[in-house]
Structure formats: structure tokens, C-alpha cells
Structure 1
Amino acid sequence: MPLAISPLSPRFGAEISGVDITRPLDAETQAAIRAAQDEWGVTVWRDTRLDDAGHVAFSRIFGHVELAPVHKGKPPRFAHPELFDASNIDADGRIIDNELRRLINAGNRLWHIDSSYMKVRSAQALLLCHEAPPPGISAPTLFADTRSAYEDLPQSMKERLEGLRARHCYFYSRMKAGYPTTEEELDAMPHAVQPVVMEHKASGRRGLYLGAHARDIVGLSREEGRALIDELNAHATQDKYVIAVEYCAGDMSIWDNLCTMHRAGDFDDTAWRRDMRRTTIREAGVVAPDDHFTQMFAASRRAAEEQASAK
């Protein structure tokens, strides 16, 4: 049965239906799903009925599924090591009551690209809702179309950006969200250098590759580089490039980090449980150790963050 595709905006985002993704999919259907993802950048799947094992299995049609980082003193909530925990609850299902953890998670409410601070970039991310706040309580994910944003730039700006590279750091975004970190501490943490303009090979289009992890621009003063990053992030996240996805239990969004930015919507995470689990696909053709997320976070940890993670 062919996919049913309902666009969420003229150039970006679509709801997909017409196929049961809890069952094994033939090669033709898998190819159609990947093609839809490449075209629309974000796809939304309602009432998937996926459990953790099915979530991981479906993710494999996009490529190599990464292992989530293992944090010292914090046992994972899930039996499947591929599942990243994007929830506000602990292993006992209680809403997290830890101010430093909240400050770390607050960085997710800034526009960002997953893993842009890693030398091994992430492509698709598959975020599955297991529990959402009750009806009437908005807790969306917002997505921005970085391909259309780049295409709409003036030619003079495109020429200015050609060949520029940005340095990305995970805790820079956390510092911007209020986590207690200094520039000097950031200097000692891992960074990844990424092109400001990314070619999205699957679609043949180009897009901006920045977000809140982008700390500065190679070859520019910190002040000039950050001003340019802020200008481009603001351009890419204008309302005309943004869609919002709300969730009920069983709903899933898939986005391609190589052509989108996203952020968590604002909601009271001290009052409402939100159980979200994500798988992450490695950029195609890249070889790296399976524990590279664990290694990066271990190299970035501060004493305060170590203490927060253990609670």
C-alpha cells in the first residue's frame, strides 16, 4: 500500500500514514519512507503502536543506530542501549527534582542541531512519545527548515558564508540556557568544527548548519562570529520556516539533523510527566566507535554536572 503523505507546510514537514510500521517492511516501502524523509525533512507518524524494540527495529531502515551515552552513576531507564532518554522523569517514573539537571535540559529549549558538537554527525532522529501531558497542555517539538532558510538568503550572504566553518560545543548551549559554565571551562571541552553551510546529499539541496551549540566562527573574532551565528539562527527560525508537532502517546516525529534545527516547546516540566525516547542515526558512510557519545560526554563533564547526573 503506498504511503499517504500530508504536507504540514508547502516546503517542509509532512504527516505519513498508510503503512503499519510495527511489521517488517519490504524494500520498496522502506525506500519510499526514506524518500519522503529526504524530501520533507520532518515526518510525523501518529499512533504508531511501537514498543521500544519496534522503535529500534524501525530506526534501522535509515542506517546505523547510535548507542546512547552511558553516564557514570546513572543507570539507563531502558533495556535497549540505542534509546536516548528525552524525558523529564527518572527511573522510577517520578518528575526529576534536580535543579542542575533542569538547567542542562533547558538547553533543549534553544534551537539546536543534535550532535553538531560531535565529529561524527547525526542524521535522522526518531522521537517516540510514550506519555504526554494531558489534553490542553501544549508540549510540542518545533522544527525549522534550514534548507529553505539558506535558499532564501541574499546572494551576497551566500557568498559571505562560502567556506566558513563554526566550532560547536555541547556545554556552550547549556551555558546560554543558564547552566553555570565559564568560557574558560568551555575552552577545555571537546569541540567539533562544522561547515556553516551543509550539503544535504540525499536531496541535493544546501542548508544552514548552526544552532545553539555553535560557539564561534573559525577565522573571525568571537564577537563577529557570534553576531553572524545569531543573525543566521534568527533568520532560519522565522515563523515561515517553522512547524510545531504536538504528541499523544504513540506518536513519533522523525527529523533529519542535516537539514533541520529543532527545539523543545515550553511547558511546565515540574508539573507534567513527559516520557519521550529517541533513536539517532549516524550520518551515512561514517565509521566511528559505538561508544563515541559516552567518550565525548565523559570528556565534557564538570563536577557539578557529575553530581547532577547521579541524582
Structure 2
Amino acid sequence: MSLTVQPILPRFGAEVSGIDITRPLDEEQRQAVIAAMNRWGVCVYRNTGLDDASHVAFSRNFGHLEKSPMRPGRNRLEHRELFDASNLDVDGNITRDPVAITYRKGDRLWHTDSAFMEKRTSYSLLLAHQVPKEAGETWFADTRSAWEDLPQSMKDKVRNLKGINSLWWSRRKAGAEVSEEQLASGLKAVHPLVHVHRGSGREALFIAAHTMGIEGMPDDEARALIDELIAFTTQPEYTFKVKYAPGDLVIWDNLCSMHRGGEFDAANEARDMRRTTVREGTEPYAVESDDPFTELFSTSVPTTFNTLAANA
């Protein structure tokens, strides 16, 4: 069977069906999935039937999977390739830990996964296991079309700039207590604000809530420019939201999109979402022994999140 693709916006996002992604893909099917991603940036697969193991297996078609931070005895999920994007604690109950709640608020800001890492993320694959009755959507924004529609004067201004990215910056923006000293000493990654998206050949912005500054620019000026670019990119003509049912999978390409979680009653309703994360530029089934996310949380955690690093 071949893929059936129904666009969501004229240039961005599609609902996709037609193949059983719980089973191994042949090369033609794998290339069809990649082609749809290159064209649309975000693809939604409904009622997939995936479980944790088949979610990981399907994700391996697209490159090396990052591992979630190692926390012996404190990881809720069996597979380290799954990042826990839920509001649940290790026992599967709605978390009451104020540190974890504060940390997750950063997910409500427009961001790209792992922009704060030197090795960027290409695909993220988010599978819904349990969803709230109301809200809890994910919003997506088209950074290719937004770049194409920017005034030429703005393109000329930002084309050669490089952004400085920090996980702890986005968490501070969401309300966590993170000092300037902690930001300065914490892990940061520098990436161009504009790059060519390899899969489509189109240029795209690479900005998000993790972008705390711009090389060679005063912080106030840089942060105002970043906010202006995010505001432009998240206008209604570039954005849409996905409402989930259990079993739905959304794949997005972080190198041509931004996303944010929608609000929901996180204190009273469970939202169990699990994400695999594909490293940019790696081949399918690549084997790598490095573990950068464990290193991040063991060496670069502000005091606010020490208990999260140890216990979340």
C-alpha cells in the first residue's frame, strides 16, 4: 500500500495514512515516509496501534535515537529511547512535584527539541498513550514558509547570525528560578538562525524559546529580535494544532518547525505522551555509545532542578 496524504495547511502539515507502521518498513515505504516529511514538515498518523517497542522500532528507520537521561530506579519507561513527555511521576500518578511542574511549563513555549545540544535533533516522534478530556493539543509553526515570507530587510539582517541556545533559558522564561550566573556557566549550543533544510532544499529559521542570545549582539537587542522572529513565525497562517486520541503519532522535523504544548488541567488529568528523538544527520540503525542527555543533567543543572535530575 502507498501513503495517502491530506494537507493541513497549503505549505505545512499533513494527515498521513496507508501503511502499517507497527510492522517493519521496506525501503520504498521508508522513503515514502521521509518524502512526506520533507514536503510537509509535520505528519500525523491516527490510531496507529503502536506500543513502546514498536514506537522505538519505527523511529529507528530515520537515524540514531537519543537516550533519555540515566536515572537508576527513577525512570518510568522501560526503553531509554523514550523521553517521558507526560505529567506523571515514576509510579504513573499525576505529579505533585513543584520542580517537575515548573520544568514542564517550558514545554508550553514555542521551541525546537534539543536546540540546546551541539548535536541537533531532526525528527521527534510523539505517541499519545493517555490524553485529557479537554485541550492538551500540540501546536506547530512553519519556519520555512515564515522565512520565505519575511521582509527582505529582515532576511538581510538575520541571515548570517548565530543563536546561543540554553535549556535553562527556556525554563527561566517559563518561571523557574535560574540566575544569570547559572545561565552563563550552563551548557549552551550555538546554531545559525537560518539554515538550508536538507530534505527540501528550502531555507528555514532555527529559533525558539531556547535561544537566549545572538553572537556579537547585546542581550537586550538579541532577545527583542528573537521575540520578533518567533511572533512572525507563529502567526495563524503558519500554525495549526493537533488534537490527540490514544494511539495517535505525530512526527515533526525540528529543522523546519517549532512547536509548543497546549494548556490542559495538568493537576487533575493525566496526559501520557512518549517521544523518540532522532539525531540530525545519522543513518538508520546507527549505533553510538555517547549519552549526551545524561551528561547534560549530571553536569549542568541549576540548583532549581537538582531534585528533578535526581528523581524525575
Fold match by TM threshold 0.5: yes
Distance of 2:114 and 2:297 partners within structure 1: 11
Aligned with 1:229 (options 222, 226, 230): 226
Give the CA deviation at 1:114. Answer: 0.6
Distance of 1:265 and 1:182 partners within structure 2: 27
Q: Out of 286-295 and 140-149, give the one that drifted further.
A: 286-295
Query: Hey, what does 1:276 align to over in structure 2?
Result: 273
Distance of 1:74 and 1:35 partners within structure 2: 40
Query: Hey, what does 2:162 align to over in structure 1?
Result: 165
Contact 2:121–2:278 at 8 Å: present in 1 too?
A: yes
Distance of 2:23 and 2:186 partners within structure 1: 43
- 1:152 partner amino acid: D
Give the CA deviation at 1:226. Answer: 0.7
Percent of aligned positions that are identical: 49
Q: How does 1:201-240 map to 2 (within 5 A)?
A: 201-240=198-237
Query: Hey, what does 1:98 align to over in structure 2?
Result: 97
- Judged with a 3 Å threshold, the aligned counterparts in structure 2 of structure 1 residues 195 and 189 are, in CA distance, closer, same or farther, namely same
Give the CA deviation at 1:298. Answer: 1.8
Deviations along 1:263-288, whole A, 9 cap, x unmatched? Answer: 00011110100100000000014997
Distance of 1:219 and 1:285 partners within structure 2: 31
Query: Hey, what does 2:14 align to over in structure 1?
Result: 14
- 1:170 partner amino acid: L
1:145 and 2:142 matched: yes
- Judged with a 3 Å threshold, the aligned counterparts in structure 2 of structure 1 residues 232 and 74 are, in CA distance, closer, same or farther, namely farther
Give the CA deviation at 1:289. Answer: 4.9
Query: Hey, what does 2:68 align to over in structure 1?
Result: 68
Contact 1:67–1:290 at 8 Å: present in 2 too?
A: no
Deviations along 1:150-206, whole A, 9 cap, x unmatched? Answer: 000111111111210010000000000000111121101010001000210110001
Distance of 1:99 and 1:308 partners within structure 2: 10
Query: Hey, what does 1:47 align to over in structure 2?
Result: 47
Distance of 1:233 and 1:274 partners within structure 2: 27
Give the TM-score of the pair, scaled to structure 2. Answer: 0.96
Contact 2:84–2:274 at 8 Å: present in 1 too?
A: yes
Deviations along 1:120-166, whole A, 9 cap, x unmatched? Answer: 000000000011112xx111000000000000011111111121001
Q: Out of 286-295 and 159-168, give the one that drifted further.
A: 286-295
Query: Hey, what does 1:113 align to over in structure 2?
Result: 112
Query: Where do 5+ consecutive residues of structure 2 fail to align?
Result: none
Q: How does 1:256-275 map to 2 (within 5 A)?
A: 256-275=253-272
Query: Hey, what does 2:180 align to over in structure 1?
Result: 183
CA root-mean-square deviation: 1.4
Contact 2:176–2:304 at 8 Å: present in 1 too?
A: no
Give the CA deviation at 1:74. Answer: 5.9
Deviations along 1:213-263, whole A, 9 cap, x unmatched? Answer: 000110111111111111001111111110100111100100000010000
Number of residue-to-residue matches in the alignment: 308
Q: Secondary structure at the match of 2:293?
A: helix
Query: Where do 5+ consecutive residues of structure 1 fail to align?
Result: none
Give the TM-score of the pair, scaled to structure 1. Answer: 0.96
Q: Secondary structure at the match of 1:93?
A: coil
